[in-house]
């Protein structure tokens, strides 16, 4: 009698043609429609699963895996993985993986687009026009800030931060960065970037972009004190994680003219957005779509599928998933990057 095939849970509808590769090796249980799983639902889905392919919407921690004795691998869709308790997974011998690299360029593109939209008041101007308030060309109307020749600050100089720095060269921007560790000199030269301390970054940047990983240490690292160091003409763009920014402090700074504008693709209480931010004209708000190009999202699913197949001991890379998350919480493929 043949042994039963491993069972895999796919937590959200993805791309059927790519997910179909899992069927060659496993019994696949896929959620047919987008759903918000609570902790009990995740725990129930994992109870008889050998592997899982999850998104940032699914929290997988000690409680969710407690009743899942067969679980051996969790493949996360995203470069960030604060939805996973990596320590708890590794303590149980469960392999965790993420999807770095494949979304770097798309996310850097979008971060630059958001920064430009905030600086030039693009969404504010569109709302002004759509509301019928535009009465004709105005020489001093909706004046914004230039990017060319300005100072770009990057907090978190990993793959995506470096991608943004490379794009800044086309705008003749001076690039400053702060990171948990300084980059090698050759990488700094390639990015035309100079390392500064945290306070100097906030004080000197005309346009500040947040691209650092979320952790307990980075929670609300951009607080009222940090925002107070910024120039009142500066902009802030967040494409990292919402919890990095104290949104109440940010809303206060924007409302009282202590910061010119902001652009946010991520929010602490997603999908809820602080109503104070919604009420402000000088903030660009998008629904967590920085990696949202069709080609990139397909590449993310393909990598997650590769990770899961290999982590569960199947396919040509059996036992060697391409992008495992190291026990310390850093991507094992490229230690030392943010």
Q: Where are the domains of the chain?
A: 7-101+294-311, 104-285
Tokens for 278? 């919604």
Predicted pLDDT of residue 335: 30
Cα-trace Rg, the chain: 22
Torsion on CA atoms 191, 195, 201, 204, rounded to nearest 10: -80
Q: Do domains 7-101+294-311 and 104-285 have the same CATH topology?
A: yes
Q: Active-site residue 288, yes or no?
A: yes
Q: Is the pLDDT of residue 165 over 50?
A: yes
Please check whether residue 235 is in contact with residue 208, taking contact to mean a CB–CB distance below 8 angstroms: yes
Q: Give how far Cα 4 sits from Cα of 1, 27, 53, 305, Å.
A: 9, 9, 20, 20
Predicted pLDDT of residue 4: 86
Q: Active-site residue 270, yes or no?
A: yes
Exactly one of 21, 48, 270, 330 is catalytic; which is it?
270
Task: Report how far residue 56's alpha carbon sits from residue 58's, in angstroms, rounded to the nearest whole number.
Answer: 6
- CATH of 104-285 given 3.40.50.720, 1.10.150.120, 3.50.50.60, 3.40.190.10: 3.40.50.720
Q: Active-site residue 120, yes or no?
A: no
Predicted pLDDT of residue 336: 28
Question: pLDDT higher for 117 or 328?
Answer: 117
Task: Give the pLDDT confidence of 230-262 residue by residue, as tens digits.
Answer: 999 999 999 999 999 999 999 999 999 999 999
CATH 1.10.287.3510 fits 7-101+294-311, yes or no: no
Mean pLDDT of 24-30: 97
Exactly one of 90, 288, 298, 334 is catalytic; which is it?
288
Exactly one of 121, 241, 268, 297 is catalytic; which is it?
241
For residue 8, the cross-strand partners are: 28, 51
Predicted pLDDT of residue 185: 97
Q: Average pLDDT of the chain?
A: 94
């Amino acid at each position: 009698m043949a042994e039963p095939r491993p069972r895999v849970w796919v937590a959200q509808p993805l791309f059927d043609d790519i997910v179909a590769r899992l069927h060659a090796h496993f019994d696949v249980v896929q959620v047919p429609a987008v759903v918000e799983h609570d902790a009990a639902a995740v725990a129930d889905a994992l109870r008889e699963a050998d592997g899982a392919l999850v998104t940032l919407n699914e929290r997988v921690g000690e409680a969710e895996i407690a009743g899942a004795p067969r679980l051996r691998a969790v493949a996360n869709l995203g470069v960030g993985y604060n939805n996973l308790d990596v320590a708890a997974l590794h303590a149980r011998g469960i392999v965790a993986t993420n999807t770095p690299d494949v979304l770097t360029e798309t996310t850097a593109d979008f971060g630059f687009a958001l920064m430009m939209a905030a600086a030039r008041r693009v969404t504010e101007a569109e709302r002004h026009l759509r509301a019928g308030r535009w009465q004709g060309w105005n020489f001093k109307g909706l004046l914004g800030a230039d990017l060319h020749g300005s100072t770009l600050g990057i907090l978190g100089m990993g793959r995506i931060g470096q991608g943004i720095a490379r794009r800044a060269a086309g705008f003749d921007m001076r690039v400053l960065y702060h990171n948990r560790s300084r980059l090698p000199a050759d990488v700094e030269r390639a990015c035309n970037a100079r390392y500064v301390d945290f306070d100097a970054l906030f004080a000197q940047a005309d346009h500040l972009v947040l691209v650092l990983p979320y952790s307990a240490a980075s929670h609300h690292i951009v607080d009222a004190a940090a925002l107070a160091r910024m120039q009142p003409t500066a902009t802030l763009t967040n494409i990292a994680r919402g919890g990095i920014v104290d949104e109440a402090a940010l809303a206060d700074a924007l409302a009282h003219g202590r910061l010119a504008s902001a652009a946010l693709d991520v929010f602490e209480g997603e999908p809820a957005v602080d109503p104070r931010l919604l009420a402000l004209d000088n903030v660009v708000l998008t629904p967590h779509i920085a990696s949202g190009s069709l080609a990139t999202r397909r590449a993310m699913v393909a990598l997650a599928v590769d990770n899961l197949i290999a982590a569960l001991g199947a396919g040509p890379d059996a036992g060697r998933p391409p992008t495992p998350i190291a026990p310390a919480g850093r991507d094992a493929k490229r230690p030392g990057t943010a």
